[in-house]
Amino acid sequence: MTIQSFIPPRRILMGPGPSDISPQVLQALSRPTVGHLDPLFVGMMDELKQLLKYAFQTENEFTIAVSAPGSAGMEACFVNLVEPGDKVIVCRNGVFGERMRENVVRAGGDAIVIDDEWGAPVSIDKVERALKEHSDVKIVAFVHAETSTGALSDAQALGALAKQHNALTIVDAVTSLGGVPLKVDEWQLDAVYSGSQKCLSCVPGLSPLTFSSKAIAKIQSRSTPVQSWFLDQSLVLGYWSGEGKRSYHHTAPVNSLYALHEALLMLKNEGLDNAWQRHRTMHDKLKLGLEKLGFKFVVEAADRLPQLNAIYVPEGIDEAAVRNHLLETYNLEIGAGLGALAGKAWRIGLMGYGARQENVALCLQALEESLTQ
């Protein structure tokens, strides 16, 4: 067998991530690799921090990109902030809330789980009741944009509630960052992580992360060291900060960071407000077309994520066959249902560079043709 270079087709990625990447970002990825302690690279990292602060709307000094996917950003928050015995309220309304619970347990924490229906947002009332019932809760953890269902939760209200009860927040903003409003400082959120491959439309494998001064204080007052060496953020800090003098922690994914710099620069040039509006406008167009085709959304209109549209598969349709047809005939990828929605729903992503008119039109036309077959 002769093995040749792998040359993938150009797919249109309208699933739950990774999303379409702009040619500009792919070009940045292929620029020459420099040493990760090269002064020019260090300068790029400083700019990258500025751009991340803008995307997160924060002045937090600790704002970086973890050199691993969103799941590592999640784990970084839990292993650093949860100490054995800490009570953590975990809101679970989809796949990623359950992963948060597992992280709490593995870090030795005591998870108090608040369940909501798949497709519903996190209930503020339930969280408030739990906070009143347990006066010693240290952390409230929730998913801002649940990619498994397409539901948006009220991060502002949850942030305010946690503060009233002297608890920190851990927020999954993997799918929300760049797609819907997220204001880390204004909403008083403490530990927020994201992913490069959703609404930032960058290559997979990086996890933007920001910690408030309160989160840093909790890390600094730990009585036991963080169990994970790689994710111990007190060690990583020396690599990302220190004005010009960087110390080696691990080899940064140099080219991926060029790509993130480019993707964030595109976001800054467009402006966050415009990016949020574009996601909303494209969602409205897609929704109109889907409703014309008779589709029903999983999530109530008020709680829907514009960037992740979960719709029920019509009765009698082989959902996997349709997805395969879209992939083979149109080079179009949409997502299958996950967890409780497996086999019952499709998830259509309009993320970042993918949230544009031609994608909406192609998706609607391809779905209509597939269903009439």
Ligand X SMILES: *Cc1c(COP(=O)(O)O)cnc(C)c1O
Contacts with ligand X by CB under 6 A lie at 17, 69-71, 74, 96, 143, 147, 172, 174-175, 195, 204
Q: Where are the alpha helices (DSSP H) in 89-212?
A: 95-106, 124-133, 155-164
Q: Which of 276, 47, 81 is nearest to 180 (CA)?
A: 276
Comparison of 286 and 351: residue with beta carbon closer to ligand X: 351
Taking the complex as a whole, the smallest distance from the CB of residue 163 to ligand X amounts, in Å, to: 23
Residues 18-28 as b/e (b if ≥16 CB within 10 A, e otherwise) read bbbbbeebeeb
Least distance to ligand X from the beta carbon of 218, Å? 22
Contact predicate 332/12, CB 8 Å: yes
Of 42 and 64, CB closest to ligand X: 64
Please say which residue, 193 or 239, places its beta carbon nearer to ligand X: 193
Taking the complex as a whole, the smallest distance from the CB of residue 286 to ligand X amounts, in Å, to 19
By C-beta, is 11 or 134 nearer to ligand X?
11
The distance of closest approach from Cβ of residue 174 to ligand X in the complex, given in angstroms and rounded to an integer, is 4
Rg, C-alpha atoms of the chain: 21
| Residue of this chain nearest to ligand X (CB atom) | 70
Nearest to 103 by CA among 121, 86, 124, 120: 86
CB-based contacts of 86, cutoff 8 Å, min separation 6: 108, 109, 110, 138, 139
Judged by beta carbon, residue 96 or residue 187, the one nearer ligand X is 96
CB of 335 to ligand X, least distance (A): 10
Q: Which is nearer to ligand X, 144 or 323 (CB)?
A: 144
What Å distances lie between residue 82 and 30, 120, 136, 197, CA to CA?
39, 27, 13, 27
Give the three-class secondary structure for 304: strand
Smallest distance, Å, CB 317 to ligand X?
25
**What sign has the CA pseudo-torsion 183, 52, 240, 235?**
positive
**Pairs from 106-111 (Cβ < 8 Å, separation ≥ 24):** 106/78, 107/78, 107/79, 107/82, 107/83, 107/227, 108/82, 108/83, 108/84, 109/78, 109/82, 109/83, 109/84, 109/85, 109/139, 110/85, 110/86
> In the Cβ-directed half-sphere of 272, how many Cα atoms lie within 13 Å?
14
User: Measured from the CB of residue 69, what is the shortest distance to ligand X in angstroms?
Assistant: 3
Judged by beta carbon, residue 81 or residue 364, the one nearer ligand X is: 81
Which of 141, 161 has the CB closer to ligand X?
141
100 within 8 A of 78, measured Cβ to Cβ: yes
Instruction: Single out the residue of 210, 208, 138 nearest to residue 169, CA to CA.
Output: 138
Residue 204 Cβ vs ligand X, minimum distance, rounded to whole Å: 6
Closer residue to ligand X, CB minimum distance, 69 or 306? 69
Q: How far is the CB of 200 from ligand X (least distance, A)?
A: 11
Rounded to the nearest whole angstrom, what is the least distance from the CB of residue 338 to ligand X in the complex? 10
**Residue 54: CA atoms inside 13 Å, Cβ hemisphere, count?**
20
The DSSP line for 1-33 is: -----------EEESSSSPP--HHHHHHHTSPP
Residue closer to ligand X (CB basis): 48 or 151: 151
